[in-house]
Amino acid sequence: MHQLIGWGDMLVFLNYGEQFLKMRKLTHQPFTRKGTESYRELQIRLTHVLLHDLLGSPQNYAKHVQRFTTAMMMEIAYGHRVVSDDDTYLRLVDEAIRVILDSGNIGLSIVDVFPFSGGETMGASIVLVIFAMLHHPEAQAKAQKEIDRVIGTSRLPDFSDRESLPMVECVIQESLRWNQPAPLAVPHCTRDDDVYNGMFIPKGSLIFPNAVFMCLDERIYSNPKEFWPERYLPKPQGNGEPHSGSTYGFGRRTCPGKYLADAGLYEKTIFPNWSIERLTSDCVIDRKTPVAGLGNDLGEDGAADARPDPTRIHWK
């Protein structure tokens, strides 16, 4: 399918070989953990614009989040600054994302396509955090209490505060594990016969990384369907469980922009230091129960499109 839509030369779709190795090296160089620090000023500038727009029209929160995560990708990749919703390149990126999602490639995860999916995936991850907070206001309250204690009200948080905000970090990581934004990564075929953990995998087998299963693995996570941010804290505060790490892909196919996306997710999640509330309170929320009036059910596999109805939530 990617050949039919003219995207056969994109890194995510390339077969392993010389061209793939060259493109991967070029793509990874600007996005090392250290390299992404050079983009922090840009991220902060765009976040300030995001905050301004959220205050002006909070009902359009998903649109604002998507616009400015995409704007960050466009400015980094092409040096193009997005200044309005009518921006030509912004519309082109939106169309490219639509083509990806409508192309029929089963299991296609936009987390692996840069620059188009960089904004979409980060935006989707931010919305997932919002959705998790609507389901679990007690976790949001704990994160807010930590922010108030560490930072106070005299300034906005910045990247240097991250290590001092373990509960905020836990909430972000648990939101991504609890409702994985990329349930299945891009499938690839084996080049040769292989044996893995005693299982024979014939040449040409189509392999799907099952991220949802990894996030809900009872051998790793206690009560995996429960939203429990403290699980990542060391004992006795938590259970010392590992971050899932599956959001950005695996092995040599890991998303090259994972450190940039991680920083962007942290910064955009913590900067809006406000309460997000649902306007209805007539149901008890758990993983299987949709938020009353929002029309969003996570489902058993955690793969639902969790995007709350903006008319049913309140920001303050």
Which residues are annotated as part of the binding site?
255
The pair of structure tokens assigned to 240 is 């010392």
| 3 state DSSP class of 313 | strand
Q: How far is CA 315 from CA 136, 224, 308, 310, in A?
A: 15, 29, 13, 10
Residue 291 has what DSSP assignment? Answer: P
Whole-number Å distance between alpha carbons of 47 and 60: 15
Strands (E), 89-220: 188-189, 194-196, 199-201, 206-207
CB 176 within 8 A of CB 125: yes
Task: Report the C-alpha dihedral over residues 68, 74, 79, 84, rounded to 10 degrees.
Answer: -50
Q: How far is CA 55 from CA 25, 94, 272, in A?
A: 41, 24, 10
Q: Binding site for heme, residues?
A: 255
> What is the residue-wise DSSP string for 223-288?
STTS--GGGGSPTTTS--PPP---TT--GGGS-TTHHHHHHHHHHHHHSS-S-EEES---S---TT
